[in-house]
Chain A
Amino acid sequence: MIYDEPRFLPGGDRYVLIEFGNEMNLELNFLAQGLASAIAQNKTKGVVETAPCFASMLVHYEADQISYADLVKELRGLIGNLGSPENIELDSRLFYFETMYLDPWTKACIEDYSAKITPKEYDPAFVARINGLKDEHQLVRVHSGTEYWVASLGFWPGLPFLMPLDPRAMITCPKYNPPRTWTPQGTVGMGGSASAIYPVATPGGYQLFGRTPVPIWDYERRFEAFGDSIVLFRPGDRIKFVTVDKAQYDDVEARVKDGSYIHNMVGYQKFSVKNYKAWVGSLDRSQRF
């Protein structure tokens, strides 16, 4: 649900988390991103930085400049002035990501976790089973069967938090218990209903089932698609995973290595919230690919 009143939750001496609702819903993400923009435009006193995510936003503030109570008052005012997301139309780039599902590297990572931390079922088989899919091959079809919305960046430099835009591709799974201490660079995985690409080898808690060789952060700025940023994505981008086999994966990886890889991105489309909602409303959500 979307709350009537946002919830303000303290995080120690320098953070407040603002929760707009408790589901995965594009409107909630627009509220979080909208509040972040409003704070930036308003230059709210004492705010050091913000981190909007799917249904909430974290504010980092400096208590010597604004008290917790005054900050909450300021933020309530800004939220009250946010318009409805209904009429938003925004430029949205679409990236095609060559991805090898059911790849040997994430399989090795899962086996390593099972051997060293705690035994667990092979992630793709597990996610397929708990979502009532026939097998991991149907999981691949469902997971790669939708565009994903980049709701935010976080966890690790450049990591995109992704929401499936087609409700027929909405699946869910728990996160690791306990989390992994490492994950291969470029791993594609999911937790809850969120998907992500791991930019580099990092710890992590998502279920794993694919890997992409396409770089999503570029410390040395070798690839044109990054422009003047070292992270590829920005909120409001979309991603479509394109399934590739090992030979295609190796080819892309070689191009990334020698610097000749060109990101497959289209930039002529606008995302209309109204059109999207109308389209979602027209679907039979019980269908599965």
Chain B
Amino acid sequence: MLEIIKPGLETSIQDYPGRIGYWNQGFPPSGPMDSWSFRLANLLVGNAAGAPGIEAQYMGPTIKFGADATLAVTGADMRPKLDDKPIPMWESLAVKTGQMLTLGPAVNGARGYVAFAGGIDAPLMLGSASTFHKAGVGGLDGHALKAGQSVPVKRANGTPGKKVKAERRPSFTSDKNWKVEAVRGPNDDWVDAAGHKQFLSFAWKLSARSDRTGYRLEGPDWTFTEKATNKAPEHGNFPSNIIDQGYPLGAVNLGGQTPIILVNDGPSMGGFICPWTIPSAAFWKLGQAKPNEFFHFNEISVDEAQALRRKLDAICSPDSIE
């Protein structure tokens, strides 16, 4: 059992890959935004890579242990401490009943992850423990963790002292700039050549009005092809308006003139075009970027995006633990 002493800023229970199979009823998958760090945390404590664990964003929680446990902290550097003594990240360690884990503000990256041997024992809602807090779904009570809440952990023995091999850890930028892969489509033929060139050359600023549903980007206006302006009226008459359609997760969704990347808790359908899509293997970078940092997009093909995903899945395996 864990006791939440301080909840931090929107600390939530997530599992991987989350709530899959309900996109046609409007349920997003949720799950950890940086699944690379999340999966490695689980593997460190001997869990299946997708077992329920904790995602902390920007400002971490303080957690008191009601029982002995094995844990691992990965992801953003939140200067983790056990009873005021700094502890290593990317490494499993044993904690005793009554000890206190504190995660502070994220120094590098934005989201920290904590896995516990056995995994968090949260009820499954449509097959997943992941929290989709804007709709009140999943986790313990549909919402982020609150002070005073008790979080049950399944009993299991982890092995302390396991480490993630150095070359298998994600590296987070320290200069506020992120290179992020993007795949053309599905609605790329609504944007003209100048618009695409601008998407790939501009440093897009991540807006503070961003959350786990969408990442709003600040930048110049988009330019369109004739298709976007000469169309049936039921699309809606703004150039980026299209008859409502299913959205890929990761879509760069053009809300009016504002590009919004649809992330883990994003909407499944809507009436704006999606000229680009961020592939799943690049989501961890989105998860670790803070507002006012910059994205530089580089184009890759569908095949390259699928190869990157295979590579990431291979990294998120017990081979990476020593």
Contacts and interface: CB of A to CB of B under 8 A. Distances in A.
Partners in one complex: yes
A268 interface: no
B127 interface: no
Contacts of B281: 13
Give the residue among A11, A13, A202, A203 with the most B Cβ atoms within 10 A.
A13
Contacts of A194: 234, 243-244, 271
Contacts of B223: none
A23 B231 CA distance: 9
Interface string A32-63: 00001000000000001111111111101001
A192 interface: yes
Q: How large is the interface on A (under 10, 10 to 19, 20 to 34, 35 or more residues)?
A: 35 or more
A154 interface: yes
A23 B234 contact: yes
Given A154-B269, A194-B243, A36 B187 contact: no
Contacts of A177: 238, 240, 255-258
B246 A202 contact: no
A205 B236 CA distance: 11
A124 interface: no
A52 B269 CA distance: 9
A6 interface: no
Interface in B267-322: 267-272, 274, 277-281, 302-303, 305-306, 308-310
B309 to A, nearest CB: 5
A173 interface: yes
Interface stretch (A80-88, A89-97, A157-165): A157-165
A104 interface: no
Interface in B8-67: 20-27
A257 interface: no
Contacts of B274: 11
A193 B185 contact: no
What is the size category of the interface that chain B forms with chain A?
Answer: 35 or more
A36 B255 CA distance: 27
Interface stretch (B92-100, B113-121, B132-140, B151-159): B132-140
Contact of A55 (B20, B24, B243, B260): B243
B137 to A, nearest CB: 7
Nearest to A50: B24
B110 interface: no
Interface of A: 9-17, 19, 22-24, 36, 48-58, 60, 63-64, 68, 152-159, 161, 170, 172-179, 181, 191-194, 199-200, 202-203, 205-206, 219, 231
12 contacts: A9-B185, A12-B278, A15-B186, A17-B245, A22-B231, A53-B245, A56-B243, A57-B246, A152-B24, A156-B135, A157-B135, A199-B26
Given A15-B277, A156-B135, 6 more contacts: A17-B185, A154-B244, A154-B246, A155-B267, A205-B270, A219-B142
Top 10 closest pairs, chain A to chain B, by CB: A177-B256, A58-B246, A154-B269, A11-B248, A9-B186, A12-B277, A193-B234, A51-B246, A13-B305, A15-B248
Interface of B: 20-27, 134-137, 142, 183-187, 209, 213-214, 216, 231-238, 240-251, 255-258, 260, 267-272, 274, 277-281, 302-303, 305-306, 308-310
